[in-house]
Amino acid sequence: MADDAPAPSLSPARRAWLRFKRNRLGYWSLVVFCALVLVSLGAELVSNDRPLVVRYEGQTYFPMLHDYPETTFGGDFATPADYLDPYVRQRITTGGNWALYTINPYGANTLNYFAKAPNPSAPSRDNWLGTDDRGRDLLAQLIYGFRVSVLFGLALTAVGVVLGIVAGAVQGFFGGKTDLAFQRFIEIWGSMPELYLLIIFSAIFAPSIALLLILLSLFGWMGLSDYVRAEFLRNRQLDYVKAARALGVPNGRIMWRHILPNSMVPVVTFLPFRMSAAILALTSLDFLGLGVPPGTPSLGELLSQGKNNIDAWWISIFTFMVLVVTLLLLTFMGDALRDALDPRKADV
Partner 1 sequence: MTPEPPLLQVRDLRVAFGAKEVVHGVGFEIRAGEKFALVGESGSGKTVTALSLLRLAGEAEITGQALLDGRDLLQLRERDLRAVRGSSVAMIFQEPMTALNPLMSVGKQVAEVLMLKQALSKAQSAQAAIELLDATGIPEPARRAASLPHQLSGGQRQRAMIAMALASRPKLLLADEPTTALDVSLRGQILDLLADLQRQNGMAVLLITHDLLMVRRFAGRVAVMEQGRLVEQGDTARVFEAPEHAYTRRLIASTPRRDVVEGEAAADAPPAARAQGLRVGYPVALPGVRGWFGKGEFVAVKGADFRIPAGRTLGVVGESGSGKSTLAQALLGLLPSSGALEVVGQHWRQPAPRNGAHNQGLRRQVQVVFQDPFSSLSPRMTVQEIVGEGLEVHAPELPEAERRTRVLAMLAEVGLAEAQFPGLLARYPHEFSGGQRQRIAVARALILQPRLLVLDEPTSALDVTIQQQVLSLLQRLQRERGLAYLLITHDVAVVRAMAHEVIVMKDGEVVERGGVRQVLDAPRHPYTQRLVEAARPVDQR
Site residues (vs partner 1, CB under 8 A): 1, 6, 8-13, 238-240, 242-250, 253, 257-258, 261-262, 346, 348
Least distance (Å) from partner 1 to the CB of residue 228? Answer: 15
What's the angle, vertex CA 172, arms to CA 169 and CA 176, rounded to 5? 135
Least distance (Å) from partner 1 to the CB of residue 348? Answer: 7
Closest CA to 182 of 174, 255, 263, 156: 174
- Cβ closest to partner 1, residue 8 vs residue 96: 8
- Cβ closest to partner 1, residue 253 vs residue 307: 253
98 forms beta bridges with 55
- Distance in angstroms (rounded) separating the CA atoms of residues 20 and 41: 25
How far from chain centre, in Å, is Cα 105?
24
Least distance (Å) from partner 1 to the CB of residue 316? Answer: 46
- Contacts of 233-241 with CB under 8 Å at 24 or more apart are 233/172, 233/175, 235/259, 235/262, 235/263, 236/172, 236/173, 236/175
Beta strands in 24-153 (DSSP E): 53-56, 59-61, 98-100
- Cβ closest to partner 1, residue 42 vs residue 252: 252
Beta strands in the chain (DSSP E): 53-56, 59-61, 98-100
- Cβ closest to partner 1, residue 134 vs residue 257: 257
- Dihedral sign, Cα of residue 191, residue 197, residue 199, residue 200: positive
What's the angle, vertex CA 260, arms to CA 256 and CA 261, rounded to 5? 110
- Distance in angstroms (rounded) separating the CA atoms of residues 292 and 296: 6
- Cβ closest to partner 1, residue 8 vs residue 118: 8
- Cβ closest to partner 1, residue 55 vs residue 245: 245
Phi, psi of 129 (to 5 degrees): -110, 15
- Distance in angstroms (rounded) separating the CA atoms of residues 121 and 109: 16
Least distance (Å) from partner 1 to the CB of residue 235? Answer: 9
